[in-house]
Structure 1
Amino acid sequence: ADARDLRSLVETLGVVPELRAAVDGIDALAELRGELDPLADLCGYLDDAIVPDPPREITDGGVIRDGFDAELDELRATAREGREWVADLEARERDRTGIENLEVGYTQVHGYYIEVTNSHLDAVPEEYTRRQTLKNSERFYTPALKRREDEILGAEERADSLEYEVFTEVRDRVADASDRIQALADAVARLDALAGLATVAVDRDYTRPTVFDPRETGRRGAADDGLLLKRGRHPVVERTESEFVPNDARLPGGSVTLLTGPNMSGKSTYMRQIAVAVVLAQAGSFVPAETARLPVVDRVFTRVGASDDIAGGESTFMREMTELRAILHDATERSLVFLDEVGRGTSTADGHAIARAAVEFLHDELGATTVFATHYHDLTDLADRLPRVRNRHLDATRTDGRVTFRHRVREGAASSSYGVRVAEMAGLPAAVVDRARELVGGTTPHSGPSRRPSTTRHGRRTGIPPARRSVTTNRPPTTGDPTPRKQRRYSASWQTCRPQRRRRWRRSRPSTISPDVQTSYSTDGTTRVA
């Protein structure tokens, strides 16, 4: 620590009495008030020792106040008196010698000197001893000036050394009080945190939650055993949006809530606001809601968002599975778990299977209260066969082709994700959006084939449907594809190739097949297209 650090400590300690006065009379903070030790003895000691605006470097001097150390004061007085004597010497010598341009100065190399120009050298007294010759002048010293120089430099050197010793003694005394200082810092930090939480609670209309321990109720899964938030809000999002739609949350202990709904409907925000409310409540804060009854949880687990670890060699899906593994290994029936679109980083079949298995494990083995957001709408049938699985969705309406996200949590499962509409809102090219909408409407499982106009080599639509041809490939059936084999569709534009290139095209791209052809698989693993 340097002198400025110690001076900052003095200023901080000076505020502590004001903090004690501010919390005086508040019973809930009586214990904390007792921990606000103003360290009056140390504060007074430092204030007496350190000047109000000390230099940054200790060796520069001028750190210790006058009057704190008698020996240091004496050395400073000697140096000060010597400099005053030198300052008066110039005027005295001008009067005595009659040399009007006589000057007294100082250099680090030669010390103090009396400088006389060449034009007045004949007026120099005999007691002047030459010290240095310059181009247009001579520099001299006198026995009296030499004695004063030795006094000044000696006193300053000894004062600097002594001042450093005194400062280290002051610093050591502060170090001896480090435990008291740290305890005070902890108390001030807690008071600061509580004041911040209180300010936010008042300014943003938070409510005091009822916090309970589910183990004391003895009724696992009962209506009064779970989490309840009425008109809950996200503390950050509500500050950044012009309008925020609050939502209720009822999560019975050990329940698994499957949350479906369109993209951008607010599923992730809904989960986050529940998690933040629980963390705030267990930290002792009010929560952003109209009413809150929250259980004590041992941990809050989240698997939200998507990111990879290039340096660690982990893909997005691997990172997702690693985090899911940690949750499934460490969560207990007292944990709160939030999973957002688990399984989206791999194939639909594999992702769906992993998501379903995770929900069943959370329900059957762990019993952790869980909110599971997903676009796998087939998962919602789990509510029909697992007693603690419930369906909720974020509401949206569609009128004349326009989708309105209402951001309201409703019972039951969502009917659609409106992904194509979100893609259109994001600004994808109209051709891509139109084709995606066409595929959703015509080539999804169990729907009829979609007629797509063929394209030329330059990408222009011709309006002529692709011809039917027979192609035999070595492409095996796709493992895990839930679509009936006879209804699989593949897109290609081989009919636009020149005749002399068709054979080569079929060899180089055996897996790209026209969207209007029917497929069947033979026992030898080849794919026949008609």
Structure 2
Amino acid sequence: DAAAIESLELFTPRAVHGRAGATLIEVVDETATAPGRRRLEEWLRRPLLDANAIAARHDAVAELREGVRVREQLREHLRAVYDIERLVSKLARGRGNARDLRSLGTTLDVVPAVRSVLAEATSETLQSVRTALDPIDEVRSLIDAAIATDPPREITEGGLIDPEYDDQLATLRATEQSGKEWIDDLQTRERERTGIDSLKVGHNSVHGYYIEVTDANLDRVPDRYERRQTLKNAERYYTPALQEREGEIIRAEQRADELEYELFCEIRSRAAGAADRVQALADALADLDALVSFATVAAERDYCRPAVGTDGICIEAGRHPVVERTESSFVPNDTTLDDDQRLAVITGPNMSGKSTYMRQVALIVVLAQAGGFVPATEARIEPVDRIFTRVGASDDIAGGRSTFMIEMTELATILEHATDRSLVVLDEVGRGTSTADGFAIARAVTEHLHDTVRARTLFATHHHDLTAVAAELGHAVRLRFQTRQEDEIVFEHVVEPGAATASYGVEVAAIAGVDDAVVDRARSLLTAETARADGRGDSASTAALRQQLASVDIASMTPLEAMNTLAELKQQFDGLE
């Protein structure tokens, strides 16, 4: 659901100052095209549910992973593919330009080569992709023949159509070109005729073509020159022959530009007529690009092919795909969520790795069901229908919702919609309220998910009493993260059976840089509280009262005697406060 997409950081990092490459899509995206990236995102956002469809996609990824030469050839060809999904949409709406058509043609030129590379493909998915790679030869030939190699962006100013495509256009462009060549030679001819070495022939948008002579040479200007413009130090002229040539050029150029626009609109319309075929081709290329991306990541990152089973989630030496790329080292961990132990209560200190571990399992399931390989030594995944998460703290001040209210709202959604085929990830449920209320909620949720919903569940908590509840449930397991206390706490990041005995919150505060005086005071308060809880910190009066209470023989008392004794003990206790 939406909360899981956000908390698992599939596409957007949650941290305001999150580091680059901190999302799943950035880690597994080795696509070469824009449609390929969109398809990869679509697969991660909506993983497959059918085991056969998942296995078919895995077959294609496996073949591409093993076929290094084929994979590299495909990546090279795909780099030349344009975003034809967007192009065909523009063309269909009559908004594409000549560059869009040329980009479409370039992409179509790649298709035969891609089909050739896939000629020996054995997986059904790759064979289906090859079949769908329609080169649309008639459109490709039309574009190659008609559209200029490097056309301008504007479609009304000429230069769009190869003159050889249309006889009339070729004649007009030839007329235009011969006129310009005549004018190019005019400067040399006129310098020879007049003897004016500084004479220049030029053009501007206001006066058109002109012959420019400096004031020092005005006495040598022929009578056939007619004044067109006076400048500060020169005069500009034209001749009847120049004026006639200019008219020919302008008429030929204008008619050629108009004809090019007419031809372009016709070609664009014909290309748009194949929109459905172009879209089908775009889909096939996007699928292929996403598959090649999965295979590239699997080969370069030592991912394994997950087996698709019906007996739960079993992962050997699983790794968090994002964290292992952003940290210098990573400790792999195993996971088993099956019918015998479908709910795991996880305890351990802050920073020991509980949240990373749970997200890791969820991301491995997402990758497996999207069709990719997974960061693990071995994995067997039973497809889940949905992944639910309640991870992290946030509030909605504008909406008037506290952190605890948001937590409870998300929890309500999970309890209402999760099924026995879902994966549920819960991190610190109940921490936004009092300890007593939080534990009560956490216990009730644990029992409901275990007994009623029966979903595969990972539940991280600092309520250590919850591990005792898990021990009483028939299909629950207790897990903890190893730590050792030396001069300071050392996190092993290794998960093992059992329950943690402490949260080490004060030590984490010290590591975070909290002022030493505050840390020391916290340690002393924690020691005193622990001693009181264990009965080791009683005063003499309290100890005497405790001894007196222990010596009372309730079985031998009458009800009245018991009430009197209770009243006396209460009076003594009140006197201690």
TM-score (norm 1): 0.79
Q: 2:287 aligns to what?
A: 190
Q: Structure 2: how far apart are the matches of 1:331 and 1:339?
A: 13
User: C-alpha separation between the residues in 2 aligned to 1:62 and 1:161?
Assistant: 11
The residue number in structure 1 matching 2:323 is 237
Number of residue pairs matched?
448
C-alpha displacement of 1:159: 1.7
Pair 1:85 & 2:182 matched: yes
The corresponding residue for 1:4 is 99
Alpha-carbon separation, structure 2, partners of 1:63 and 1:521 = 100
Contact 1:392 1:413 in 2 (8 A): yes
Aligned with 1:434 (options 516, 520, 532): 520
**Which residue does 2:550 correspond to in 1?**
none
- Listed one character per residue, the Cα deviations across residues 85-111 of structure 1 (whole Å, up to 9, x for unaligned) are 122222223333334433322222222
Structure 1 residue aligned with 2:541: none
Aligned partner letter, 1:262: P
Contact 1:443 1:449 in 2 (8 A): no
Among 187, 197, 207, which residue is 1:110 paired with?
Answer: 207
Once residues 240 and 34 of structure 1 are traced to their aligned partners in structure 2, the CA distance between those partners, rounded to angstroms, is: 40
Which of 145, 159, 166 is residue 48 of structure 1 equivalent to? 145
- Select 1:277's aligned residue among 340, 344, 364: 364
Question: What is the Cα deviation at residue 447 of structure 1?
Answer: 4.7
Note the 1:509-520 alignment, pairs <5 A. Answer: none
> In structure 2, which of residues 311, 320, 336 is the aligned counterpart of residue 250 of structure 1?
336
Q: 1:100 to 1:404 in 2, by over 3 A?
A: closer
* Higher-Rg member (1/2): 1
Would the aligned equivalents of 1:230 and 1:290 in 2 still touch at CA under 8 Å?
Answer: yes
Matched, 1:306 2:405: no
How has the CA–CA distance of structure 1 residues 72 and 231 changed in structure 2, closer, same or farther, with 3 Å as cutoff?
Answer: same
Q: In structure 2, which of residues 298, 309, 313 is the aligned counterpart of residue 201 of structure 1?
A: 298
| Number of the residue aligned with 2:441 | 354
- What secondary structure is seen at the aligned counterpart in 1 of 2:334? strand
CA drift at 1:450: 7.9
SS at structure 2 position matched to 1:27: coil
The answer for the alignment partner of 2:250 in structure 1 is 153
The equivalent residue for 1:446 is 533
Structure-to-structure mapping, 1:404-419, within 5 angstroms: 404-419=490-505
Structure 2 gap segments, 5+ residues each:
1-95, 539-544, 547-568
Q: Deviations over 1:21-40 (max 9, x none)?
A: 22221210212211122223
Confirm or deny: 8 A CA contact 1:439 1:450 kept in the other structure.
Answer: no
Match of 2:112 in 1: 17
Q: Deviations over 1:125-161 (max 9, x none)?
A: 3333222233333322222222111111111122222
Alpha-carbon spacing, 1:97–1:210, altered in 2? closer, same or farther (3 Å) = closer
SS of the residue 2:244 aligns to: helix
**1:319 pairs with 406, 420, 427, which one?**
406
Q: Tell me, what secondary structure is at the counterpart of 2:379?
A: strand
Identity %: 58
Shift of 1:373: 0.5
Structure 1 letter corresponding to 2:184: A
1:465-480, aligned counterparts within 5 Å?
Answer: none
**Within 2, Cα distance between the matches of 1:30 and 1:264?**
47
1:320: how far off?
A: 1.8
Which residue of 2 is the match for residue 339 of structure 1? 426
Higher relative contact order (CA 8 A, sep 6+): 2
- Give the secondary-structure state (helix, strand or coil) at the position aligned to 2:413: helix
Which amino acid in 1 is paired with 2:437?
D
- Residue in structure 2 matched with residue 144 of structure 1 by the alignment: 241
| TM-score normalized with structure 2 length | 0.73
Residue identity opposite 2:507 in structure 1: R
Q: CA deviation at 1:61?
A: 2.5
Conserved in 1, the CA contact under 8 Å of 2:209 and 2:246?
yes
SS of the residue 1:43 aligns to: helix
- Partner SS for 1:229: strand
Shift of 1:433: 1.0
CA distance in structure 2 between the aligned counterparts of 1:135 and 1:293, rounded to whole angstroms: 88
Query: Is there any run of 5+ residues in structure 1 with no aligned partner, and where?
Result: 214-224, 452-485, 488-519
- Given the superposition, is the C-alpha separation of residues 143 and 389 from structure 1 closer, same or farther in structure 2, using an over 3 Å criterion? same
Contact 2:111–2:135 (Cα < 8 Å) also in 1: yes
Partner of 1:386: 473
> Equivalents in 2 of 1:19, 1:419: separation in Å?
57
- Partners of 1:425 and 1:77 in 2: how far apart? 80
Quote how far apart the aligned CAs of 1:334 are.
Answer: 0.9
In the TM superposition, residue 57 of structure 1 has moved relative to its aligned partner by: 2.5
1-structure distance, mates of 2:321, 2:115: 30
Decide whether the 8 Å contact of 1:51 with 1:63 is kept in 2.
yes
CA contact (8 A) 2:471 2:478 kept: no
Alignment of 1:451-490 (within 5 A): none
Give the deviation of 1:268 after TM superposition: 1.0
Structure 1 residues 291, 87: closer, same or farther in 2, change over 3 A?
A: closer
Contact map agreement 1:442 1:448 (CA 8 A) in 2:
no
